[in-house]
Amino acid sequence: MPYLALIRHGESQWNLENRFTGWTDVDLSEKGVQQSREAGRRLHGGGYTFDLAFTSYLRRAIRTLWLVQDHMDRMWIPDLKDWRLNERHYGALQGENKAAFEQLYGAEQLHQWRRSYAVRPPLLEPDDPRHARFEAKYAHLDVGQIPASESLADTVHRVLPCWRERIRPRLLAGDDVLVAAHGNSLRGLVKYLEGISDEDIPHLNIPLAVPRVYELAEDGAIRRRFYLRPEGEEAV
């Protein structure tokens, strides 16, 4: 029976500073490094052995994956990168402090930007130096594919083709797969996998560096799902 584990990266420097991050390529904080190591040790201790891993183009997820692989003695497995696993693009909010914006715009507006399914934060202007079109790692994409802001619905729209084209076929072939990604790109994937409604998805918050494990039937149906926490498995 193949299994799939989804892991959100460990704490990043901007999680620590409470700033909207999105596609900004910030690294893990020291705590995030420790959290990622601990997740790797827990997966190793639980007897998990992945055949391959997927991650985004963003270093906080890539580094989390490397630390997990290191502590599982699994650095040799293929780790495949796909920009479609990137965090939800936070548009012009990227870099801003969440608490300061709550003061300016109010808790309800902040909640809409952060957790509503369909609302897009304000767009990043095309000539804004923060725009991803200036980054070498997206040079292979058509300009129209590079977002200037995304709702969670937009994020689901780009994550699912990656799931269908690259990840799901490997599970159906019998491989055990680890995916290291982000709070919102994983919320989008979990929404699809577990059939969570648009109304309920704002209540799902995926914790930092805690593997969410799915045991699958050979046809891909979910048999069992749980978080692998320090104190033991916890059903979700």
Residues in binding site = 8-15, 21-22, 60, 87-90, 98, 114-115, 183-184
How many C-beta atoms lie closer than 10 Å to residue 2's C-beta?
Answer: 18
User: Whole-angstrom Cα distance, residue 210 to residue 9?
Assistant: 9
Three-class secondary structure of residue 160 per DSSP: helix
**Among 60, 63, 74, 114, which residue interacts with ligand 2PG (rule: CB under 6 A)?**
114
Range in contact with ligand 2PG (rule: CB under 6 A) among 16-24, 40-48, 161-169, 210-218: 16-24
Q: Is 82 in the site for ligand 2PG (CB under 6 A)?
A: no
Q: Is 22 in the site for ligand 2PG (CB under 6 A)?
A: yes
How many residues bind to ligand 2PG according to rule CB under 6 A?
9
Q: Is 15 in the site for ligand 2PG (CB under 6 A)?
A: yes
User: Whole-angstrom Cα distance, residue 67 to residue 28?
Assistant: 11
Q: Is 214 in the site for ligand 2PG (CB under 6 A)?
A: no
Please say if 38 is a catalytic residue. no
Backbone angles phi, psi at 104, to 5 degrees: -75, -40
Choose between 137 and 223: whose C-beta lies nearer to ligand 2PG.
Answer: 137
Using N-to-C axis directions, what is the helix angle for 98-105 and 107-115, rounded to 10°?
130
Shortest Å distance, C-beta 82 to ligand 2PG: 18
Handedness of CA 48, 53, 55, 59 (dihedral sign): positive
Shortest Å distance, C-beta 48 to ligand 2PG: 25
Note whether 33 and 206 are within 8 A (CB): no
Range in contact with ligand 2PG (rule: CB under 6 A) among 18-26, 171-179, 194-202, 226-234: 18-26
Choose between 16 and 52: whose C-beta lies nearer to ligand 2PG.
Answer: 16
Residue indicated by tokens 């498995």: 233
Note whether 100 and 19 are within 8 A (CB): no
| Known binding-site residue numbers for substrate | 8-15, 21-22, 60, 87-90, 98, 114-115, 183-184
Give the angle 131-137-138 at the CA atoms, nearest 5°.
55
Where do contacts with ligand 2PG occur on this chain (CB under 6 A)? 15, 20-22, 87, 90, 114, 183-184
Catalytic residue numbers, as ranges: 9, 87
